[in-house]
Amino acid sequence: MADIGSLEPLATFCGKCDCGCPQLFVDESAPPERRVVITDDFGQKVEMSADQFASLVEEAKEGRLDAVASA
């Protein structure tokens, strides 16, 4: 598994500040079940498979996560 610092982010969420915004990475060297990596601004990370990430994206597209964004 690669060090996060050596990976290029696919997306940065917020990006309007210097607070260490959450980022999305794909670690091709990781096992398939841990290939998609999301970091937060506290240095934590979540690792998941591409299928799990696709499910998360689908939930967001269908509006099931909208309540979280407006909280």
In contact, 48 and 39? CB cutoff 8 Å: no
**Residue 53 has what pLDDT?**
98
Look at residue 15 in the predicted model and tell me its pLDDT. Answer: 65
- In the numeric block, which tokens belong to residue 31? 């096992």
pTM recorded for the entire structure: 0.84
For residue 4, what pLDDT is reported?
83
pLDDT in tens, the chain (71 residues): 778 878 999 998 886 777 778 999 999 999 999 999 999 988 899 999 999 999 999 999 999 999 988 87
Q: Letter for the amino acid at 26?
A: V
Tokens representing 39? 């970091």
pLDDT of residue 33: 98
